[in-house]
């Protein structure tokens, strides 16, 4: 059917703060949310830093039973969904509840709850494991709880494609609406795995930055002296709607979703294909899907993890897809400020892409101090930039070689 799809609401929890405006102001100020880990004693670990959602209080958003029974990644998702629904003004009732769905992504689900109950099992025995353990940690409980909260009975599922999960969730929601299977979707992603087991796992892979004495400077995408990524936590939720549906109810439209691409590297468990073959296919497909030409893309919110292989591979892919236009593109990585939210990253970064269009400001890549000859694009270094951005792409690439790209456009009712 190829119906047009627009964004009408946003909600965020990140290491930069709780709420969209707080995040946007922090990002445009070039602030870092990376600090020494407080959730557990990090002293035995090579990496002792992360982006924690320090100002988030679950009790501000959920009742006591929900706080106790559900993993915090679900808390993040539900709080962000409430913010997004409030901004959107979307009302769900018997007239439309079967046409509104929920689709979110998460890379690891409720790992904190799993670790907690594993400890209880070992120390106190199986009888002390709560009957709410399993439903409190499974990844699809995020969209499940959001649907219960708002009474949305349309398509409901979760996507677990590592660090591309919430970009895939937004993309698949876009397709469901475009193809007429839903009129609105609550979508995005959430992650909360700043836990001992997760940090130990990534440390053993030597994937994390060990710049422990300068946490705020540890996440430095595309900089020559980057030494690994920094974990973050939080959620990003968007409300997508069919255009006429949004216009008829008088919704404020923030941007239009126009393209979605996805691909697989078929190369390695964790490393990207060095020449960026999967990313090239993914970005090319998103541009083709949008009906735009490569030279019409103004800005890319890059995957930009701050690891040597990922950053170099993404730069090569951008050069291949955009040719000479790659030198004119603004490319920045907001992970330099939020850290890497893994399965939640795509939702957060889609929101930053939408806000870049709406606000006419490009958030920077902070900590960009020493150019890497292999990464030689315009990374909007260290300071936000005022610019008229009509189109923005958001990239997400995950373990297993799974890739997703989204294209957003300034909304114009007639085009």
Tokens of 60: 């501000």
163 counts as catalytic: yes
Catalytic residue among 28, 47, 102, 163: 163
Beta-ladder partners of 259: 407
**Under a CB-based contact definition with an 8 Å cutoff, are residues 239 and 249 in contact?**
no
Estimate to the nearest angstrom the gap between the alpha carbon of 414 and the chain centroid. Answer: 30
- Give 302-320 as a 3 state SS string: CCCCCCHHHHHHHHHHHHH
**Cα–Cα dist 245/182, whole Å:** 11
**Under a CB-based contact definition with an 8 Å cutoff, are residues 61 and 24 in contact?**
no
Phi then psi for residue 159, to 5 deg, are -120, 130
Burial class (CB in 10 A: 0-12, 13-18, 19+), 197: middle
303 counts as catalytic: yes
Catalytic residue among 75, 168, 245, 340: 340
| DSSP at 58 | G
Catalytic residue among 168, 282, 303, 375: 303
State how far the alpha carbon of 371 is from the alpha carbons of 189, 227, 256, 317, 378, in Å.
32, 14, 34, 18, 11
Residue showing tokens 């025995």: 125
Estimate to the nearest angstrom the gap between the alpha carbon of 362 and the chain centroid. Answer: 17
Cβ count near 125 (within 10 Å) = 9
**Under a CB-based contact definition with an 8 Å cutoff, are residues 392 and 352 in contact?**
no
- Tell me the angle at which helices 277-290 and 308-322 cross, rounded to the nearest 10 degrees: 40
Residues labelled as active-site residues: 163, 303, 340
């Amino acid at each position: 059917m190829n119906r047009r799809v627009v964004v009408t609401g946003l909600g965020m929890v990140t290491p930069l703060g709780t709420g969209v405006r707080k995040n946007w102001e922090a990002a445009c100020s070039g602030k870092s949310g990376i600090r020494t880990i407080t959730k557990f004693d990090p002293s035995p670990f090579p990496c002792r830093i992360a982006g924690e959602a320090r100002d988030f209080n679950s009790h501000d958003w959920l009742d006591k039973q929900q706080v106790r029974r559900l993993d915090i990644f679900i808390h993040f998702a539900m709080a962000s969904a409430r913010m997004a629904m409030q901004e959107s003004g979307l009302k769900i009732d018997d007239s439309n509840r079967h046409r509104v769905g929920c689709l979110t992504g998460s890379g690891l689900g409720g790992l904190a709850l799993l670790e907690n109950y594993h400890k209880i099992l070992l120390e106190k025995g199986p009888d002390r494991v709560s009957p709410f353990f399993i439903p409190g940690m499974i990844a699809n409980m995020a969209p499940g709880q959001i649907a219960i909260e708002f009474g949305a009975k349309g398509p409901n599922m979760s996507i677990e494609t590592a660090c591309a999960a919430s970009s895939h969730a937004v993309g698949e929601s876009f397709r469901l609406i475009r193809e007429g299977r839903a009129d609105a979707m609550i979508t995005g992603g959430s992650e909360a795995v700043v836990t001992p087991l997760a940090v130990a796992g990534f440390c053993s892979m030597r994937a994390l930055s060990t710049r422990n004495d300068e946490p705020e400077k540890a996440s430095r995408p595309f900089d020559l002296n980057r030494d690994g990524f920094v974990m973050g936590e939080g959620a990003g939720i968007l409300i997508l709607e069919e255009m006429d549906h949004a216009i008829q109810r008088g919704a404020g439209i923030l941007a239009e979703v126009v393209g979605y691409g996805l691909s697989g590297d078929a190369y390695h468990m964790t490393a990207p294909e060095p020449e960026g073959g999967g990313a090239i296919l993914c970005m090319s497909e998103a541009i083709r899907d949008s009906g735009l030409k490569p030279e019409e893309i103004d800005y890319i919110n890059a995957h930009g993890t701050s690891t040597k292989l990922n950053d170099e591979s993404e730069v090569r892919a951008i050069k291949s897809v955009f040719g000479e236009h790659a030198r004119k593109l603004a490319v920045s990585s907001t992970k330099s400020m939020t850290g890497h939210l893994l399965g939640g990253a795509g939702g957060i970064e889609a929101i930053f892409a939408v806000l870049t269009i709406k606000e006419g400001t490009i958030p920077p890549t902070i900590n960009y101090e020493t150019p890497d000859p292999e990464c030689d694009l315009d990374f909007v270094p260290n300071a936000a930039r005022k610019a008229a951005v009509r189109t923005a792409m958001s990239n997400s690439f995950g373990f297993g070689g799974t890739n997703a790209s989204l294209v957003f456009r300034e909304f114009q009712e007639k085009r």
